[in-house]
Amino acid sequence: MQGNQELRTTRFSDVCGSVDELKRLMREEQVPDPQVMAGLLKDMRYMLEHMGRRLQEYAHFEQEAEILLERIRSLGHFRLDEGLSIASQVDASLESGQPTEEVIEVVCAQAEQIRDVANEQECQLRQAREAAIALYRLYACLRGKRDWRLEEGADDTATTSDRTAGLAARLDSWLPPSPHREHILDYLADGRAFVVPPDGERKEPYVAFESGGGGMPLRHVRWSDSVRNFYPVGQEPNPAGRQQRNQ
């Protein structure tokens, strides 16, 4: 997800939540706790940097994809019409019945021309296939651990409910209690968040929010209806924060 960046538990799942809370503290408390303010600003920097890195990954994808697409564009003229035209000439030559030696040699020469067209098309197909596979691998690298199967249409029969049920079964022991459980499952099911599996140092799954840039341990995720945002357990946001939006 974020390369070697150390995962940080943010107070909100996106920068907007942090901005709302910072404005609320400044306006309501006037002299807010410096540590709280510093934490909010550190969260903002973390999320901005994460989103910036992600945008750089998309920019790299665009550059590499353009190289691969240019390979396909540079394959040149497809000689299908030429090959079919020659085949029609052979047809016409053979319609006259018993061919003369001269006709036989003409037909054999035309057959070789068809072979030449076929060999060129085989080469073009191989090059196009290699470029397409490389493009797929490039996409798979960009996607990483994110589950985009619904958006990809990988399973036309799968619904969001199906995906939610599958995620619930797979992550059951790590999911927060209801109603937070249902909210985070919805985000995971439609690709707005994804789970970073445990590794050698981190013993539990971490949920990362794809567009907002924030994140927190999956079992600590909580949802606030009042501010329409996720937050880590024990840090329930002040409901007045949402009132700061766009003010």
pLDDT attached to residue 183: 95
pLDDT attached to residue 243: 87
Task: Check residue 181 and give left, alpha or beta (phi > 0: left; psi -120 to 50: alpha).
Answer: alpha
- Provide mean pLDDT across the span 126-150: 91
> What is the strand order of the sheet 193-196 is part of?
193-196, 206-209, 215-217
pLDDT attached to residue 4: 47
| Cα of 176 vs its chain's centroid, Å | 26
The overall average pLDDT reported for the chain is 90
CA distance 229 to 220: 14
Task: Check residue 241 and give left, alpha or beta (phi > 0: left; psi -120 to 50: alpha).
Answer: alpha
8 Å CB contact between 244 and 23 = yes
- Provide mean pLDDT across the span 99-125: 92
> pLDDT-based confidence at 156, cuts 50/70/90?
low
pLDDT attached to residue 155: 58
pTM above 0.85, yes or no: no
pLDDT digits (tens, 9 = 90+) for 203-227: 899 999 988 899 999 999 999 999 9
> pLDDT-based confidence at 3, cuts 50/70/90?
very low
pLDDT at 135 over 90: yes
pLDDT digits (tens, 9 = 90+) for 158-207: 566 777 888 899 899 999 999 999 999 999 988 889 998 887 777 899 99
Sign of CA dihedral 172, 182, 6, 10: negative
| Cα of 132 vs its chain's centroid, Å | 17
pLDDT attached to residue 184: 95
8 Å CB contact between 245 and 21 = no
pLDDT digits (tens, 9 = 90+) for 14-57: 999 999 999 999 999 877 899 999 999 999 999 999 999 999 99
pLDDT attached to residue 162: 77
pLDDT attached to residue 2: 46
pLDDT attached to residue 94: 86
- Provide mean pLDDT across the span 87-101: 86
